[in-house]
Structure 1
Amino acid sequence: MKEQFLGVDVSSHSYERLKQNVLDDINEKRQSFIVAINPEKILKAQEDQDLKALLNKATYQIPDGVGVLLASKLNKGGIKERVTGIDMLLTLCEQAADNGKSVFLYGAKPGVAEEAKDKLIEQYPNLHVAGVLDGYEKDEQKVIQTINESGADILFVALGSPRQEYWIVDHMKELNVSIFQGVGGSFDVISGRVKRAPALFQRFGVEWLYRLISEPWRIKRQIRLPLFLLKVWRDK
């Protein structure tokens, strides 16, 4: 089930549906690719057809951003809840811990993935983290070999967007992994190096407002939301 905004697909699955689909994909040895979609990415895709094609190659385009929910309402669509990238990561880790599946953390600066691993195991004691590797390893064959030898079912790639998504698409067929997700700066947040917005901001889908308050320079990026909604409305 997908909706489309300015030519970019967005999945309308809930967390519960996604969890079941992902578990089915692992058990049936299907490769699936998860990408987080927000208004900024959709607007960038208007100027970059390669990026648009890349986003639409994903199996699950999760609605990461309140702007996507508003766009769905404008179009009388069925997207009812945000599925943020970091929350999807945590959901998959919980799912892995509960079902005997394993995860691999690839990306971020040296030491960050290790710290994120420790925090994830604290949160999900039954989680099997098959391996970690920072994003500064230059030998691509070593990266692929290390991931494959780990036997991981789920791979989280933190190389920044869209680099991480291009990396996933370019290497999926070489990797013995079922689920791929680009997770941006999630390892930094999970490790505690970067503070996430307080729960109240998360609950109301206004993490962007917290980031704007704490990092006013983001104003140029945030004012693109009204532009996005205007384009969606015109495109109806």
Structure 2
Amino acid sequence: MKEDILGVNVNTENYDALIPQLFRNIDDKKKSLIVAINPEKLMKAKEDPELKALLNRAEFQIPDGIGVIIASKLKKGNITARVTGVDMMDRIVREAARTGHAIYLYGAKPGVADKAAQKLKDTYPALIVAGTQDGYEPDSEKVIQTINKAQPAILFVAMGSPKQEQWIEQYRDRLHPTLFQGVGGSFDVLAGNVKRAPAVFQRVGAEWLYRLLKEPSRLKRQMTLPKFLIKVLTQK
């Protein structure tokens, strides 16, 4: 099921409901793109029709952001829990290790994807990592050929949004993988280069507050949340 938030469709299901759908699509050779939805992205999409269309063309839009949950509650909707990009990636990897589906990591600075892949292998020894590629190869044709030669079922792309989603959408019909997810800075988190908020902040959906405390310069960016909620209320 999906719910409309400022003109963008957002999945209402949690991880346990989404994972079987994703892997059924893999088994059925039905290509799927996962995009993470947060207030900042929704506000940008409101002003950018092309971005809004791109987000709505994705097969899965996960509610990655406490503001999306609050917005759904204000609308008396059915989105009750966050589905974060980094945690969705972990759930997909866990299921891929269990089912034998190979993954591929593309993006980030040289060496980061390799380190992230090794961390995933340490956590899930049965995981098949078909390959990695940093995000600094300028020739997309070469990247496509390398990925296709490795024949992964799942491709994680870490370029930042919306660049990663635009790249996936441009080339997905030519790529071997069936499931695609843009994962932003997740490779850096997995590699240990960037620390996630402590678990207590994650549980209450306050990772934004932790980042703000660590980086006060983010205050202007965080002001998007109240503006977003006002938009939701006025369009209720």
| TM-score over 0.5 (shorter chain) | yes
The 1-side partners of 2:162 and 2:224 are apart by 18
Quote the offset at 1:28 in angstroms. Answer: 0.6
CA distance in 1, matches of 2:122, 2:166: 31
Q: Is residue 2:153 matched to residue 1:136?
A: no
Alignment of 1:70-149 (within 5 A): 70-149=70-149
Q: What is the number of residues matched between the two proteins?
A: 236
Q: Which amino acid aligns with 2:150?
A: S
SS at the partner of 1:157? strand
**Aligned positions of 1:176-195 closer than 5 A:** 176-195=176-195
* 2:226 paired residue number: 226
1:56 alignment partner in structure 2: 56
The corresponding residue for 1:17 is 17
Shift of 1:209: 0.4
- CA deviation map 1:131-150 (0-9, x unaligned): 00000001111100111111
- TM-score by length of structure 1 reads 0.99
Following the alignment from structure 2 to structure 1, what is the Cα–Cα distance between the partners of residues 217 and 82? 25
Aligned to 1:161: 161
Matches within 5 A, 1:5-44: 5-44=5-44
Runs of 4+ in 1 over 2 A off after TM superposition: none
SS in structure 2 at match of 1:135: coil
Unaligned runs of 5+ in 1: none
SS in 2 for 1:196: coil
Equivalent residue number for residue 66 of structure 1: 66
Amino-acid identity (%): 58
TM-score, normalization by structure 2: 0.99
| Superposition deviation, residue 223 in structure 1 | 1.2
Name structure 2 gaps, 5 residues minimum. Answer: none
Cα shift at 1:116: 0.2
Aligned residues: CA RMSD: 0.6
Instruction: Tell me the alpha carbon deviations over residues 62-105 of structure 1, each in whole angstroms, 9 at most, x when there is no partner.
Output: 00000000000011111111000000100000010011111000
